[in-house]
Every structure is written in structure tokens, then in C-alpha cells.
Amino acid sequence: MRRTTILRTGLSALLLLGTWATASTLPASAADVPPRSAEAPASSGLLSAMQRDLGLTRGEAVARLAAEKTATAVEHKARNAAGSAYGGSWYDAGSGRLTVAVTRAAHADAVRATGATVRLVRFSARQLDAAKKRIDALSAPAGVGSWHVDPKANKVVVDVVAAHRDDNDVRAFLTRARAAGPVTVRETPSAPRTFAAGTVGGDPYYTGNVRCSIGFSVHGGFVTAGHCGSPSAAVYGWDRSYIGNFQGSSFPGDDYAWVNVGSGWWTVPVVLGWGTVPDRLVRGSAEAPVGASVCRSGSTTHWHCGTVLAKNETVNYSQGAVHQMTKTSVCAEPGDSGGSFISGDQAQGVTSGGWGNCGSGGETWHQPVNEILNRYGLRLHTA
């Protein structure tokens, strides 16, 4: 791709790339935009999306981001203070504070000293994770959507598709799941599905007849969803020029992949908005707690925000189960797969799948970015 071509396309080329985290293929005009001040709470694009999707005023959005940043820092300290009594944690948007569950009252004061609120529970996070692992070993029928540890409920939550709640195979699965540990059952309106799509012109990247969205830049390439392409598959950009190949890909079981970048394309550590100038720089990958706000960008539905609903969830797609996913209230649609989830200026993960759409709402899962980086020995491209 010649530099003159990139410069000539200007902002329209930027919009066609369609990633939060950008990708490898940012035009020179994007890289030349001066970075925002490190003190800025967020870009106008991020704040606007939070106002639209979370029903906040601009001031409330700014305050929430600041409170969530504090909660993320507190979570690490509180987990250490709780030790083996740690039962999980979640952020409460109403109070603006992190709540930490502990199984022994003797640890409460040490956890409170970190700035967290404390709740006494019966089961530790280690016990709940062990129960979930036993459920992971079961064969789940199509009527079971997913399951995860819910620290607030202090149980493993199994989501069952409402129309299949009374199916014999679903009932049998729930009986076995309850034998594995503390379980509660909730209903979901639809079964989860991945968000890849057939080829549509003017979108970020293509492989075969599939269109997906670029995730986050890493040194040497970008990360994305595993169901978007198999190892060695060729990848082409928005203009159909060759970018690189899938260097690693895993799906099901996991849903992550990475693509090398070359042939005139390069990586930049920024998050892009749609219809706006490039958004905030990516500065790290600190994991946001349950309850925190999170936003997503993809090539189909662009920017949308919501909250983190659960972590370490097993999602039962028709192609097979995928483990260690993060569930959010953010909507998505086909073609958004692989796109980036971000909280403030911290990379969170790449879009995998979900149910619903951005007209009527829904839920979406992402594969945590730190897991992808560790799996392939990659380094996130940060400012």
C-alpha cells in the first residue's frame, strides 16, 4: 500500500478500519494526530458512547471512569489482603465502590483497609472455580447457553435458553451440574452465537468469505477472534490489499488468534471511534472488575458500551464450548467479531459472540486480551 494512497484517503480510510484498538492498518494521518493529555479522563467519543448506552450525563460518565480506575487498583490489593478467604469481587456503579467477598470475618478489616466494601460469604473463589471446572468437564446440550462463577450470588450460574428449560437433556445436565457444587439457574432468551459475517464491502479485514474486526495492536501484528480464521489463512485489509496471515488461532475451547502485519501495513496503539477523530491511546491491559463499564468497537455496529456482567464464563456455542470468557451487556452483530473491548484506556479483550443485536439489545462475550498475549508470547502495543 503506497503512502500517497493512504494520505489521499484521509478520514474515510480511518473509518473503514473500524477498530477500537486498531489495528495494524492505521493510515499515516491517524498516527500523526497528537495524543491527548494523559490527564484527560476519556475522549469525547468514549464519553458520548457511555452517555448513549448507559444513560449517563457527561459528568456522570467522567466520574464513573475515575471511580472504576480506583476500583481496578483496589481489587488487586484487596485480593492479596483476603488471601485464601477471597470469594470474588464486583464494582457497584451506585456507590462507586468495589465489594469484596470473604469467607472469614477475620480478614474483613484488612480488606476494608484497601478501600473495598466487604461481604461475608460461604464459598471461596477457589471452591467456586473448582465447581465450575467440574461443570466444564460435562457435555452441555444446545439448550444450555453458558455458565460462570457469580461472586455476588456466591454460586455458579448456569444460563439456560428459555425455550429449552424443560428439555430432558437440559434437565439432566442441570442435575449433574448441581452435583458439582453450588449452582443457580437463570434463563436467557437466545443461544449464543459468534459474530463473524459473510463478505461485505468497506469493512476492516477479510479472510476467505468471512469479515471480522481487528482487535488490538501488538508488536508485529494484531489480535482478533479465533473463529475468524485458521492458522496460515491469508488476511486482507479494508482495501483488499494483503496484510499478513493468521500466525495462531484457537476455536472452540478458546476464541483467540493473532495476525502478523507487513506489506506496507503497520501497527499503532490507538483506539478508533466511528465518525470521529482517532480516540484515546491504549495505555495498558489492566482488567476491569465485574460491574465496571466497558465499551466495544466493531466494523458492523461501531461503538457501544455496557457493563461487565461476569468473568471466567464457559460459553456453549454450536461449534463447541469456549472457556474463560468475559460476559458484558454490550450489544454486537455479525461482522463485529474480533473487535476490541476497552475500559477507559485499558484493553480488555476481543469480541467473540453473544445473543441479540444493537436494535433490541443483548449480551456479548469477549476473550480477555491478557490471555491471548500470554498464550502467544505477544506484547501489547501501548503508548
The answer to whether 123 and 86 are in contact (CB under 8 A) is no
Is residue 227 part of the annotated active site? The answer reads yes
- Catalytic residue of the set 53, 150, 254, 255: 255
φ, ψ (nearest 5 deg) of residue 368: -55, 135
Measure the CA–CA gap between 79 and 258, rounded to whole angstroms: 31
Looking at residue 20, what is its pLDDT?
Answer: 31
Would residue 255 show up in a list of annotated catalytic residues for this protein?
yes
Kindly tell me the sign of the dihedral angle through the C-alpha atoms of 148, 150, 154, 159: negative
- pLDDT per position in the chain (383 positions), as tens? 333 222 222 222 222 222 333 333 222 222 222 333 344 556 677 788 899 999 999 999 999 999 999 999 999 999 999 999 999 999 999 999 999 999 999 999 999 999 999 999 999 999 999 999 999 999 999 999 999 999 999 999 999 999 999 999 999 999 999 999 999 999 999 999 987 654 434 468 999 889 999 999 999 999 999 999 999 999 998 888 899 999 999 999 999 999 999 888 888 887 675 554 346 678 999 999 999 999 888 889 988 999 999 999 999 999 999 999 999 999 999 999 999 999 988 999 999 999 999 999 999 999 999 999 999 999 999 98
* Residues forming beta bridges with residue 351, ordered by sequence position: 366
- List the one residue out of 232, 192, 229, 193 whose CA is nearest residue 211: 229
Q: Give catalytic status of residue 107 as yes or no.
A: no
Q: Are 148 and 133 in contact (CB under 8 A)?
A: no
For residue 271, what pLDDT is reported? 64
Cα–Cα nearest to 374, from 260, 233, 256: 256
Q: Are 272 and 22 in contact (CB under 8 A)?
A: yes
* Euclidean distance between CA atoms 85 and 102, whole angstroms: 5
Which DSSP string corresponds to 74-116? HHHHHHHHHGGGEEEEEEETTTTEEEEEES-GGGHHHHHTTT-
- Which pLDDT belongs to residue 10? 26
Q: Which of 337, 340, 343, 352 is catalytic?
A: 337
Taking a C-beta distance cutoff of 8 angstroms, is the pair 375, 256 a contact? yes
DSSP string, 288-356: PPTT-EEEEEETTTEEEEEEEEEEEEEEEETTEEEEEEEEES----TT-TTPEEEETTEEEEEEEEEEE
Q: Residues 53, 150, 159, 227: which is the catalytic one? A: 227
What pLDDT, on the 0 to 100 scale, is given for residue 230?
96
* Cell of residue 353, nine digits: 459472540
Burial class, 24, CB count within 10 angstroms (exposed 0-12 / middle 13-18 / buried 19+)? buried
Beta carbons of 380 and 221 less than 8 angstroms apart: no
Q: What CA–CA distance (Å, rounded) separates 363 from 354? A: 5
